[in-house]
Amino acid sequence: MKFLVTGGAGFIGSALVRHIISCNDNIVINVDKLTYAGNVNSLISISANDRYIFEHADICDAYAMQDIFAKHQPDVVMHLAAESHVDRSIDGPAAFMETNIIGTYTLLEAARNYWKALPEQRKQAFRFHHISTDEVYGDLHGTNDLFTETTPYEPSSPYSASKASSDHLVRAWHRTYGLPVIVTNCSNNYGPYHFPEKLIPLVILNALAGKPLPVYGKGNQIRDWLYVEDHARALYKVVTEGKVGETYNIGGHNEKQNIEVVLAICELMDELAPMHQRGYPLNTKHSSLITYVQDRPGHDLRYAIDAGKIERELGWKPEETFESGLRKTVLWYLNNKDWWQAVLDGSYQLERLGQGDRE
């Protein structure tokens, strides 16, 4: 099978591409614009594989999308390309509207026109899998409530509103045109190759550098944490075994307050990279670097996923606990300085020059 993955140089996308290439004989066409969050260094382990193809293109470019579908004749589309950072969406929402809404529309139309012309057998087998977020559901008010696949949408930020819009578009293309779609909504991901602006890698790298560890408000915001490689397994399971027209929530069963996450990272750093090894006084703790900062506007207090449906219907559940996944993550950052140093100094962006533009 040929899998067309959009945003395959991003954090979740690269984990998915690595998973598909390493676990079976399928072919992956990775379509990525290589914005600041796209990093071809995250794909070095599979980049020389003859079943991996890279296309440097923007999903908002209708002609490029039409050309890619015609050229590669995919059996499956897995759509992950998106602007995804809440703070950036507050500072500059326009890019989120363009990529997440217009880009999804453009990709849907390219997929629909391609799908309509397929022979009947391939047409029946074709899938368009849209990967989304639990943030579209908004804030959970009760301490025991969970997001289900039927929870009403109530997005709070420009980012989550744009993702909610894209979800609605995908379902409308299924309802109106019959395009065989599947939607997944996931909780917060973490793990290797995560861009350093996100909470867990930011805390790890700031701790390593002796910089302040910023915590919004009181740090009492609750998130359900999902190890990215568990998510990649779930996505492959859904697109190959899931039911057309259905939505599946994917969560890690790991609800933690942000301050709990930061403290857990500090404890691991104290164990694995103690501060005295970097010239600080003996017994100095990384938790001494924690700094509370003003909360961001519209910050939801609690997200939590009910992932019962995917477990019941498809037999998926996470393999990593939060403790095991976090330890793997901290160790990965400690052992892969070349990757994150290239991100911090910007040199990773030079890699795109070797990928070739479509213009």
Q: Report the C-alpha gap between 140 and 135 in whole angstroms.
A: 10
- The gap from C-alpha 155 to its chain's centroid, in whole angstroms, comes to 18
With beta carbons less than 8 A apart as the criterion, state whether 30 and 43 touch: yes
Q: Indicate if 229 belongs to the active site.
A: no
- Of the candidates 105, 137, 159, 190, the residue annotated as catalytic is 159
Strand partners, 30: 5, 54
252-280: string of b/e by CB count within 10 Å (b at 16+)? Answer: bbbbbbbbebbbbbbebbbeebebeeeee
Q: Indicate if 134 belongs to the active site.
A: yes
- Of the candidates 55, 58, 134, 300, the residue annotated as catalytic is 134
E strand map for 48-140: 52-56, 76-79, 127-133
Cα pseudo-dihedral 94, 97, 99, 105, rounded to 10: -150
Q: Indicate if 67 belongs to the active site.
A: no
Coil, strand or helix: which one is 129?
A: strand
Closest CA to 2 of 26, 32, 22, 25: 26
Q: Which one-letter DSSP state was computed for residue 288? A: G
Cα pseudo-dihedral 28, 32, 37, 38, rounded to 10: 60
Cα pseudo-dihedral 196, 197, 198, 200, rounded to 10: 50
Among the residues of 144-253, which ranges form H helices? 158-177, 199-209, 228-241
Q: Which one-letter DSSP state was computed for residue 61? A: -
**Residue that the structure tokens 């009910």 belong to:** 306
With beta carbons less than 8 A apart as the criterion, state whether 110 and 62 touch: yes
Taking only Cα atoms into account, the Rg of the chain, rounded to an integer number of angstroms, comes to 20
- Of the candidates 58, 83, 135, 167, the residue annotated as catalytic is 135
Q: Active-site residues: which are they?
A: 134-135, 159
